Amino acid sequence: MKLTENQYWNPIIETLPRERLMEIELRRFRETLRWAKEDSPFYRKKLHGIAPEDIRTFEDVAKVPMTEKDELRAAQEGKEPYLYGDLLAVAPDRLSIFHQTSGTTGKPVYIPDTYESWQLVVDIWCYILYAAGFRSTDRVFLPFVYNVYIAFWQGHYAAEKLGCEVVPGGGLETKARIQKMKEVQATALMNTPTYGLHMIEVAKEMGIDPKRDLRIKRMICAGEPMPESTRLRLEEEWGADVYDHIGGTEPGGWAGMCSQKQGMHVIEPYFLHEMVDLETMSKPIPPGVKGVAVITPLCRKCIPLIRFNLKDMMMVRKDSCPCGRTSIRVDQIGGRVDDLRKIRGVFFSPSVVEEVIRGQFPEVVEFETILTQEEVMPVLTLRVEFDPSIGESQYKELRSRIREKLKIRSNLTFELEVVKAGGLPRYTLKSSRFKDHTKK
Amino acid sequence: MEYNLRDMDSEIKAIEESTKKLKGLGQGIETVERNAEAILAFVFILKRNISDLLE
């Protein structure tokens, strides 16, 4: 096997022919099924009647029942061993680290790892960081208290494993973090898109221009979906290459952007990725069609996850990537299925508001969308906070342009409310810019 | 650069074997057992990253 450029974490795996990747994934899927059935009481029951050796093709994979998040909650609730219940597929004394989901959509799900499975999670993140250009010469700043959430723990340990010098920037105010990044001359940053934008705002208040006065050359974002318009705005304001990745507490990080910045490469053959259609949530769909992603981590042996319905809307790209990686690439399109609403007969995803605002209105510092019900009619209100340097005389024109662009993009009419400076919440980890007040 | 998967796989297996032997020799000595376990965790990853790719 001959390779020339050192642009891959694992040049052998990342350039394997697709047929070979698929063979390995099918074999690993069978092994994962076998292990899950043997060691997890939840899956022993759920997969009753399914013989791993019968899974020979991707069509066979699609016949295996999907796992929903609610099932994970139910399998943990009130069951032994405490916290993990019927899902756990290793002896509890082998566990070495605890994480949990944020609880945005319900009771948190607890996801532990053994030392071995955690090292694998970290190695998978190395694939993501390496593709994003992180190298041993980087000094990486992480402006977060990592807490019980997996994202920045993975990033921290993966950067360390790559040989980067990691600066944990938790426990500081935003201003102190910016000062620290300047002091240590950090060259790379891990961030949520929201906090990346917030730091720009705070840095400017401090008289610091991130592009001119800091040395950040690359940034990887985690924690929330990032529309392309937000990514481009971050690149412009930070003067850095900004990369996205996809991950979650349950599967860990599973896809990342390469230097081409066109979609995200699934880290194959560590994950078996499928797409199903939006209507039935079960029928497989081909590349180029928008649907919902289903993922199976293939080697992380602690809590099995078979065909996990991520409920994230995506599309697999049809084209091959000039970077030479042979893995499939996905684009995140339209946010989460849970956030989709049918308003006045039109499907609405809150992510379109972010696309419009971040892509076309740099004057907007922060925003939130509120859905209410007035008599029988649902009403969408966009609350915006303008940059303090914008004079009130410009508000009328801006309001009208924002409403017009939103109407074109979403086919819906928005009410618009201007909020005084600092009046809207600022987020660090998961943002919550859509509030549905019609829900009881 | 040329890579020889079979030679790499042989070395990975040799590390695994000698680490298991070390763990056995150090049974009851926590630092030997735990560090050997840590090495085996990395062997697990090397096997997935390299050995698994052999036809």
Query: Residue B5: CB partners within 8 Å, gap ≥ 6?
Result: A1, A12, B50, B51, B53, B54
* Euclidean distance between CA atoms A349 and A299, whole angstroms: 34
pLDDT value of residue A431: 76
pLDDT value of residue A440: 55
Which amino acid, one-letter code, is at B55? E
pLDDT exceeds 80 at position B55:
no
* Euclidean distance between CA atoms A163 and A171, whole angstroms: 24
Give A 14-43 residues with CB within 8 A of chain B. Answer: 16, 20, 24, 28
Interface residues from chain B to A (CB-CB < 8 Å): 1-3, 5, 37-38, 40-42, 44-45, 48-50, 52-53
Residue among A24, A119, A123 minimizing CB distance to B52: A24
Interface-testing mutation among A1, A2, A117, with chain B (most B C-beta atoms within 10 A): A1
Q: Do A119 and B45 touch (CB under 8 A)?
A: yes
A158 Cβ under 8 Å from any chain B Cβ: no
Q: Which of A204, A198, A202, A234 is nearest to A217 (CA)?
A: A234
pLDDT value of residue A4: 45
* Euclidean distance between CA atoms B12 and A300, whole angstroms: 20
Q: Which of A197, A206, A152 is nearest to A179 (CA)?
A: A206
Report the complex ipTM: 0.97
Query: Residue A351: CB partners within 8 Å, gap ≥ 6?
Result: A225, A227, A334, A335, A339
Which amino acid, one-letter code, is at A82? Y
Q: Min CA distance, A11 vs chain B (Å)?
A: 10
Low-confidence ranges of chain A (pLDDT < 50): 1-4
* Euclidean distance between CA atoms B19 and B35, whole angstroms: 9
Interface-testing mutation among A5, A6, A13, A302, with chain B (most B C-beta atoms within 10 A): A13
pLDDT value of residue B1: 66
> Quick one: what percent of chain B has pLDDT higher than 90?
93
Distance of CA B12 to the CA centre of its chain: 5
Q: Min CA distance, A110 vs chain B (Å)?
A: 22
pLDDT value of residue A2: 43
Q: Do A12 and B41 touch (CB under 8 A)?
A: no
pLDDT value of residue A103: 79
pLDDT value of residue A373: 85
User: Looking at per-residue confidence, does B28 or A344 come out higher?
Assistant: B28
* Euclidean distance between CA atoms A116 and A151, whole angstroms: 18
- Note the pLDDT tens digit of each residue in A344-403: 877 888 888 988 998 889 899 899 999 998 877 889 999 999 988 888 889 999 999 999
Residue in A with minimal Cα distance to B35: A115
Contact A203, A178 (CB under 8 A): yes
pLDDT value of residue A44: 97
The 10 Å CB-count burial string (b at 16+, else e) for A207-246 is ebebeeebebebbbbbbbbbbebbbebbbebbebbbbbbb
Residue among B40, B44, B53 minimizing CB distance to A12: B53
Residue in B with minimal Cα distance to A114: B41
Q: What does chain A come to in residues? A: 440
Which amino acid, one-letter code, is at A330? V
pLDDT value of residue A402: 94
